[in-house]
Structure 1
Amino acid sequence: MSEGQSVLFDVPGPRTRRRNRIIGVVGGALILALLAGLVWGLREQLAPRKWQPFADATTWTAYLLPGLLATLRAAVISVLASSAIGLLLGMGRLSHVKAISWLCGLVVEFFRSVPVLMMMVFSYYAYLSTGLFSGDVLSLMGVVTGLTVYNSCVMAELVRAGVHGLPAGQLEAGQAIGLTHSQVLRSIQLPQAISAMLPSLVSQLVIILKDTALGYMITYPELLRAAQYIDAVYGNLVVGFLIVAVIFYILNWSLTRLAHMLEARLRSRRIAPARIVGPGAPLDEVEIS
């Protein structure tokens, strides 16, 4: 490959670069104009008096903080349940027993195709009709059930893709030393697959956190419903949604940063360099950092 070419396309010449700069400047100006027009159209909703209620501690203690705690409660329960069930479903899909693999595949493919909101509403009214849950727990379990059923199927596919992405020789090597297929899967392949698929798994956890907002459809008092309560009192729906959007951004950014730190730590452990103490040192003097 010549120096003037990249992998996907030729390096642009002076005329193309000049045209791209013009397009970038014009496009940026149009975006700024649209944003300015949007802010101007919402100038009444963004007036200082609309922001004033958020300077009052009562707005946070009575609405936003309870909504935040409800959001985190549903997300944490759903993450734990989805991770456990997704791992089991993923192992089931990888099972060499055809009946188990086929049944787990049927469950995963079906529930991945059903919208999360539909499963939340169905679970809510199913619990309501059977009397299994009531009160505040009813809407919480509706949200958790919908999120868990859908996201566990997605995580099962991530686990399966991670295992299939490993070198095939690992299974053969494990069986060569006397391990069964299930033992190789549990002790060798799954730890590597989960580590390799960690960014995708964390992205799914972020989706779970955001999808808790769908709980307002079944009266779950999460952040979005808290913003609606604030609007009913102060009439500042746009500002309330902006504040809630910033809170969601901070939560998701923090979760993503935590995942990157965990991924870097796992990578450093997996690829730990060997340091020889001295020239010609025997094997027992090799130190692994």
Structure 2
Amino acid sequence: MSSVLYDAQGPRAKRRNVLFTVLFAIVLAAVLWWVYQNLDEKGQLAWDKWKMFFTGTEAWTTYILPGLKNTVIAAALAMVIALPLGAVLGIARLSDHAWVRGPVTVVVEFFRAIPVLILMIFAVALYSKYTDINSDDRPLYAVVTGLVLYNASVLAEIVRAGILSLPKGQTEAAQAIGLRKTQTMTSVLLPQAVTAMLPAIVSQLVVIVKDTALGGAVLTFPDLLSSANTMSSYYGANTIASFTVVAVIYIVINFSLTSFASWLERRMRRSKRSTGAVLGVDKVADLNAAEVGDSFGAEAGGGRTSDS
């Protein structure tokens, strides 16, 4: 059976694909066995290296949970600030006014081009020199600042691309019924663009969660990654066990975030089968009662008089 993208495979192609699949599985199994053998020979799989995670609570209450708490706080603050800021910057890049569009473009491109770690380091230096923020709180402020500046710029491009991906007829239809540009953006374009932008936005939120680890690695921010380093030293250099547990926690957090976003996207797509809801005259009047509602009322009254 043929497809738009490719032709159906013949007998030789099917045999070749099965052969490649079997060879890949054999190579993968050999690599996994080699890794297992090396870890076992070095004692990294011994029960003494792992028992603190399963037989007691000290490792969790002293190291993992406090580090996880700081990671969640930094990521949540960065998300809450970066999402609306990115939306504002993305919309501003679409402005008809060059004095708005130009500076915003420079800001977005500047912060999008700088590695987030450099932004964090600069933020630490600025907070240290020009503010009286406590040295214990300074790493958190620096991590959040770097994440916000970088990810807000990336989210701005996602918002701009999502809005530009909509058919021009949406904007023209909104203008035809008398909506102002702000009303068109907030009531017509953004609600439709959110569904298309959601996968990219969630991917960026996952990046925010992972990039908090940069603060732990460089800025002494007591996040989940830095807790793994401390925990590994305390329990006798069980590096593999500590970082494996931390990696699993990161996977669970990011997978939960992605799963929730996928569920939300499916729900949003089911709730609106078309490209957007059709606005009636009463809805338009609610959006712009002073201008649109009055004009529609006057036109409707004039039409009835002429018909009669």
SS for the counterpart of 2:108 is helix
Question: Which residue does 1:226 correspond to in 2?
Answer: 227
Structure 2 matches for 1:126-205, cutoff 5 A? 126-205=126-205
Aligned counterpart in structure 2 of residue 42 of structure 1, from 39, 44, 61: 39
Contact 1:158-1:197 within 8 A present in 2 as well: yes
Deviations 1:81-102 (A, max 9, x none): 1101101101110111112111
**Aligned partners of 2:132 and 2:45: how far apart in 1?**
44
CA distance in 2, matches of 1:260, 1:6: 26
| CA deviation after TM superposition for structure 1 residue 190, in Å | 1.3
Matching residue of 1:54 = 53
TM-score of the two chains, using structure 1 as the length reference: 0.89
Deviation at 1:21, TM superposition (A): 0.9
Partner AA of 1:15 in structure 2: R
1:239 aligned partner: 241
Cα deviation digits, residues 176-234 of structure 1 (max 9, x gap): 22222232112211121122211111111111111111111100111110000101101
Q: Distance in 1 between matches of 2:94 and 2:262?
A: 28
Report how many residues are paired. 269
Per-residue deviation, residues 123-168 of structure 1 (Å, max 9, x unmatched)? 1122112234223320001110111111101111111111111110
1:247-272 superposed Cα distances (whole Å, 9 cap, x missing partner): 01111111111112211221222228
Alignment of 1:79-158 (within 5 A): 79-158=79-158
Task: Tell me the equivalent position of 2:255.
Answer: 253
Structure 1 stretches lacking a partner, 5+ long: 273-289
Q: Answer with 177-186 or 87-96: which moved more.
A: 177-186
- 1:221 and 1:92 map into 2 onto residues whose CA distance is 36
Corresponding position of 2:9: 12
Q: Distance in 1 between matches of 2:99 and 2:37?
A: 61
CA contact (8 A) 1:95 1:182 kept: no
Equivalent-residue separation in structure 2 for 1:84 and 1:203 (angstroms)? 16
Q: Displacement, 1:63?
A: 0.3
Aligned partner (choices 4, 24, 28) of residue 27 of structure 1? 24
Supply the AA of the counterpart residue of 2:248. V
CA distance in 1, matches of 2:51, 2:106: 53
Q: Secondary structure at the match of 1:197?
A: helix
Question: What is the percentage of aligned positions where both structures have the same residue?
Answer: 44
Q: Deviations over 1:15-49 (max 9, x none)?
A: 12112111111111111111111121122122111
Tell me how far 1:11 sits from its aligned partner: 2.0
Match of 2:264 in 1: 262
